[in-house]
Amino acid sequence: MENSNPKEHNIVDSVMYNYNSDNSQWELENRLLKETIDQLKRELDKYRSTPLIMCEVIDLVKDKAIIRLQNGNEFLVEISGECGKLAPGDSVLSEQKNLTIIKKSPKSKKFNVEKFVIIEKPKTSWKDIGGISEQINEIHEIVELPLKKPDLFKKLGIKPPKGALLYGEPGTGKTLLAKAVASSTNSTFIEIVASELVQKFIGEGAKLIKEIFELAREKAPSIVFIDEIDALAARRIEIGTSGEREVQRTFMQLLAEIDGFKNLGNVKIIGCTNRKDILDPAILRPGRLDRIIHVPLPSKEGVEQIFNIHTRNMPMDKSVDIEKIVSKIVGYSGAEIAAMCTEAGYFAIRKNKKKVVMDDFLNAINKVNKEKSVEDKEYVGMFG
C-alpha cells in the first residue's frame, strides 16, 4: 500500500539519504584503509627481502655461469630462467645464499675508458722518422692503404689487414711509426700500455679491452696502439695463479676483438714489443696481426738521417763535423740520438752560446755513453 502521508514520505527519504551517504563514506574510508595497509605491507616486504649481490659474469659454462664477486672470489652458479641471454662482462644480481643469478643489473658498471687510455690526434709526420724507410713502406701497405683506399681491397677480394706487430730494440721508432700513420690517415690514436693494464686493473682487464675497442669503433678511423704487448701476450707454460688466469682472460678478450667477433671496420691495431721471443704464437698466427715488422737499430746512414732530423732546427757552428759524430754514435737507437742532440743543446745553453759547437756534441756523446753503460750493466744484472 502506498504511503499517502507526505510528511511521513519525507522522513523516509531523509533516512534513506543519510543511510546512503554514510554508506558511501564508509566505503571510501574502507578503500583508503585497505590501500594504506597494502602499501605498508609492500614497505614491510622491502625490509624483509635479502639484498642481491652485484657481480660480474666471467664466463658461461653450458647452462651455468662463472661469476666474480667484488672481493675477487669466483663461483660457478646457476642462472634463473628470467635472466635472458647473458654474456661475459655483464653485470648481474645474484641471490645471497647460493649466488644464483636472478637478473641482469639494470646499471652495468661502465668504465670511463677515456680516463685509462691516451687518446690523441698526433701530428707526427713521416719526415720526423729516419733510417727505417722499409718499415714505413710496410706500415703504408698494412695500415694506411686499407684506411684510405678500402675499395682497392674490395675489388681484389682481399680482406683488409687488421694490423701489425712492431718489434725491436727500445727507442727505435715503433711508437713514432704508429703515430705517423695515425696522423697521415687522420685517425684517432688510442694508446694502451699492456703492462699497466694488467697491473692496475686487476679483475677488469677483459672488460677494459672490450670497452677500449668499443671506443675505438666510436671514434673510427682509429688506431689502437698496444705498447708492451708482451705483458699481455706472453707465452704461458702453465696458468697457475689467479693473476695469470686474469692476464690470460684479458689476452683472450684481445684475441676475440682481433678475430673480429665484432667487425673491426676502420679500426687498426698496432702491437709493439721489445720481446717478440716470448710472445704467444696465438698473437703471431696468420690472420691475427697481419704483418710482423722488425724495427732495428739504425744503420750508419740511418743514424745520419736521424741526427739530421733532430738537429734540423739547431743553429750549428762550422766546427761541427757530422761525419765524425755519426761514426762515434753508430749503434745508438733513435731515442739515444735524440737525447744526445738535446744534451748538446744544453751544453751550449749552459755556456750561453748562440750556436752548438763540436765540443758540445762530444760532451753529449760522453754523457750518453756513460748512461748507456750503466743501463747495460743493469740489464746484464737483471737477465745475465
The nearer residue to ligand ATP, 224 or 272, going by C-beta atoms, is 272
- 291 grid coordinates: 704483418
173 binding ligand ATP? (CB under 6 A): yes
- Kindly indicate which of the ranges 16-24, 127-135, 151-159, 244-252 contains the residues binding ligand ATP, using the contact rule CB under 6 A: 127-135
DSSP track, 95-149: -TTT--EEEE-SS-----GGGTSEEE-----GGG--S-HHHHHHHIIIIIHHHH-
* Nearest distance, CB of residue 340 and ligand ATP, angstroms: 11
Contact map string, positions 260 to 299, toward ligand ATP, x by CB under 6 A? ------------x-x-------------------------
* Nearest distance, CB of residue 143 and ligand ATP, angstroms: 15
130 binding ligand ATP? (CB under 6 A): yes
Dihedral of the alpha carbons of 87, 279, 232, 159, in degrees to the nearest 10: -50
Compute the distance between CA of residue 220 and CA of residue 218 in angstroms, rounded to an integer: 6
129 binding ligand ATP? (CB under 6 A): yes
Dihedral of the alpha carbons of 232, 237, 242, 247, in degrees to the nearest 10: 10
Among 269, 338, 341, 364, binds ligand ATP (CB under 6 A): 338
171 binding ligand ATP? (CB under 6 A): yes
State which residue has the least CB distance to ligand ATP. 334
* Nearest distance, CB of residue 169 and ligand ATP, angstroms: 7
| Binding footprint of ligand ATP, residue count (CB under 6 A) | 19
* Nearest distance, CB of residue 165 and ligand ATP, angstroms: 12
The nearer residue to ligand ATP, 132 or 232, going by C-beta atoms, is 132
Among 226, 258, 309, 340, binds ligand ATP (CB under 6 A): 309
Compute the distance between CA of residue 325 and CA of residue 316 in angstroms, rounded to an integer: 13
Among 334, 340, 365, 368, binds ligand ATP (CB under 6 A): 334
231 binding ligand ATP? (CB under 6 A): no
- 213 grid coordinates: 675497442
Compute the distance between CA of residue 127 and CA of residue 73 in angstroms, rounded to an integer: 52
- Which residue type sits at 36? T
* Nearest distance, CB of residue 138 and ligand ATP, angstroms: 14
Strand ranges (DSSP E) for the chain?
Answer: 53-61, 64-68, 74-78, 91-94, 101-104, 118-120, 163-167, 188-193, 222-227, 267-273, 291-294
The nearer residue to ligand ATP, 283 or 338, going by C-beta atoms, is 338
247 binding ligand ATP? (CB under 6 A): no
Compute the distance between CA of residue 267 and CA of residue 189 in angstroms, rounded to an integer: 10
The nearer residue to ligand ATP, 14 or 308, going by C-beta atoms, is 308
φ/ψ region of 307 (left if φ > 0, alpha if ψ in -120 to 50, else beta) reads alpha
* Nearest distance, CB of residue 195 and ligand ATP, angstroms: 11
- 223 grid coordinates: 688506431
- Kindly indicate which of the ranges 47-55, 128-136, 236-244, 245-253 contains the residues binding ligand ATP, using the contact rule CB under 6 A: 128-136
Compute the distance between CA of residue 97 and CA of residue 78 in angstroms, rounded to an integer: 12
For residue 144, count other CB atoms closer than 10 A to its CB.
19
- Kindly indicate which of the ranges 3-11, 14-22, 170-178, 187-195 contains the residues binding ligand ATP, using the contact rule CB under 6 A: 170-178
Cβ distance 295 to 130 under 8 Å? no
Q: Which residues bind ligand ATP (CB under 6 A)?
A: 129-132, 170-176, 227, 272, 274, 306, 309, 334-335, 338
